[in-house]
A and B are shown apart, each in its own frame.
Chain A
Amino acid sequence: MPILEVKNISKRFEDTEVIKDISFSLEKGETLSIIGSSGSGKTTLLRCLNFLETPDAGTITVNGEVIFDAADPMSRSEKGIREKRLHFGLVFQSFNIFPQYTALQNVTLAGLLLAKERPDYKARKNEIQEEIINNAKAILDSVGLSSKLDFYPHELSGGQQQRVAIARALALNPDILCFDEPTSALDPELTGEVLRVIRELAERKTTMIIVTHEMSFARQVSDNVLFLDEGVVVEYGPPEQVIGNPGEERTKQFLERYFENGNA
C-alpha cells in the first residue's frame, strides 16, 4: 500500500485553474521531486497536501486513510485538519522560522505544545519535555547545528536557518516531508549545505516530496520525478527518464530552457 495517494486533485483561484486533476502516489521511503516552470502549480500542489489550500476536487489518502475528500465537508473541519496535517511536514522557501526563538526553541515549540494534549502529560510532564528537548538536540545535531542550539535566527546564515526549519519539521516525525523550493531563497554558496542535508535524509529513506529548480540535484536524489506544466502532470517516472531522456515535447522544452539559462 502506498503511503500517499493523491487522486484527481484540482484547485482554482478565482478564474484560473492552477492545478487540474492531479493524481500520483508515493511509496514509503520514496523521494519524489516535482519540477516545472514558475506558475506550473508545483507550490499549490504542495500547499494542498499541507492543508494551506483547500482543493476544490479530489482525495488525499495517507496510509490507506482518506484524510481529505473535497466531496465531504466534514474533512475540512478545523480540528480534523490540525491532526491530519501532521502526516506532512513542510519546509518553506522562505524558511519562516520564528525570530524570537532560538534554534532549539524553534524545533521544540510545536512538540511541547502538542504534548500538552497527551493524556499522560500531567503525570509525566518533566519526562516528556526532556524527551522532546533531547530529540530536538539530536535532530539539530544531525543537520550539523549542534553548536548553534542557542542562536537566534538573525545570528544564523540563510543555510543554517533553512536547516533549523528542516529540523523543526523533522521533530514532529511526519510521514511525508515536503520541501517547497528549499534553496531558492539562498545565496548560491549556501545551497550546498541544505542540499547535503536533504540528500542524507533521502539516503536514510525519509519519505519526501521536493519541489525544486535544482535539476541535477533532483536527478541524483529522487526515486521519481513529476513534471508539472500548466497545472497538469505531463510526465512522471524515474529521473533517468523524465530528466535524462524525456518522452514528452513539453518536458524537453522545459529542460532545454533550463539548461540554456546556464544551469547545470
Chain B
Amino acid sequence: MNIYIASLFEGFWLNIRLFILTLVMAIPLGLVITFGSMSKFRPLKWLVRTFVWIIRGTPLMLQLFVVLYSPGLLFGVPMKSRMTAAIVAFVVNYAAYFSEIYRGGIESIPKGQYEAGAVLGMTKSQVFFRVILLQVIKRIVPPMSNEIITLTKDTALARVIGIAEIIMSAERFTKQGLIWPLFSTGLFFLVFNGVLTLALGWLERKLDYFRV
C-alpha cells in the first residue's frame, strides 16, 4: 500500500509545483496585461483585449497542446520539457483571467480617490501605490480566491500532455485493477484547498480594518 501512496504524493508534488509556479508568475504578468488592456493607446489596448479573448475563449486543455507542439511545428525547435510547456500554458491562461479581475478592481475605485491624491500634489505612481492599490487588493481578494482554488484542480489537466500528476499516477493503478488510489486523489485536493481556503480567509480578514 505504501508504494501506492508514495506514488500519489509524488504525483501531487507536480500539481503543487505547477500551482505555485503559475501563481508566482501569473499574478505579476496579469497586472502587465491589465495595464495593456487599459492603455490609452488604442492599438495596444485592442491587441491585448483580443489576446485575452482568445485565451479565455478557448479550452486550457487545447492551449496545453498548442504550447507543447507549436514551437516544433512552427520553428523546428521542439519543446524540450513537458513541464515547461505546462507552466507556460498555465501562466498565460491564468494571467489572462487575473488581468480581468484586476481590471474590474481598478475600474471599481471611484475617480475621486485619484483626484484627491492629485490635488494633494501626489505623483501618479504615489496615487496608485499609496492610495489605489490596497483598495484594489481588498476588492479582488474574493474573486482571486475563487480563481486560485480553481487553479489547484486545473493542474490535473497537465496530464493531457503527459505530465505524471496525481490523477495520471493513480490511473496507472486503475489499469492494474485497483480503483481506490484514483478515488483517493480527491482527498489530496480537498486537504490542499482546505488549507488554501483558510489562508485566503485570513487574508480577507486582515483587510477587514477598512471598508471600500
Contacts and interface: CB of A to CB of B under 8 A. Distances in A.
Contacts of B126: 113
Interface in A51-82: 51-52, 78, 82
Contacts of B117: 98, 110
Contacts of B113: 96, 98
B110 A85 contact: no
Contact of A154 (B118, B123, B211): B211
Query: Which 10 pairs show the lowest CB-CB distances between chains A and B?
Result: A110-B120, A96-B112, A96-B116, A154-B211, A90-B119, A100-B210, A99-B210, A86-B121, A100-B134, A50-B119
Interface string A109-126: 110011000000000000
Contacts of A109: 120, 130
Contacts of A94: 110, 112
Contact of B122 (A78, A100, A110, A169): A110
B211 A52 contact: no
B99 interface: no
Interface string B165-192: 0000000000000000000000000000
Nearest to B111: A96
Interface in B91-130: 110, 112-113, 115-124, 126, 130
* Main DSSP-derived SS at the B contact region: helix
A92 interface: yes
B131 interface: yes
Contacts of B116: 92, 96-98, 165
Interface of A: 50-52, 78, 82-83, 85-86, 88-90, 92, 94, 96-100, 109-110, 113-114, 152-154, 165, 168-169, 172
Contacts of B131: 98
Contacts of B115: 52, 92, 96
B121 A99 contact: no
Nearest to B123: A82
A169 B123 CA distance: 16
Contacts of B112: 92, 94, 96
A19 B132 CA distance: 31
Nearest to A171: B120
Contacts of B130: 109, 113
Given A96-B115, A98-B113, A172 B209 contact: no
Interface residues of B, number: 23
A92 B115 CA distance: 9
Given A51-B119, A92-B112, A96-B115, 20 more contacts: A50-B119, A51-B118, A52-B118, A52-B119, A78-B124, A82-B123, A85-B121, A96-B112, A98-B113, A99-B211, A100-B209, A110-B120, A113-B130, A114-B121, A153-B210, A153-B211, A154-B210, A165-B116, A168-B120, A172-B121
A99 B135 CA distance: 8
A19 B131 CA distance: 31
11 contacts: A50-B119, A51-B118, A96-B110, A96-B115, A98-B113, A100-B212, A114-B121, A165-B116, A168-B120, A169-B119, A172-B121
Point out which of A78, A82, A97 has the most chain B C-beta atoms below 10 A from its C-beta: A82
A109 B127 CA distance: 11
Contacts of A85: 118-119, 121
Interface string B186-212: 000000000000000000000001111
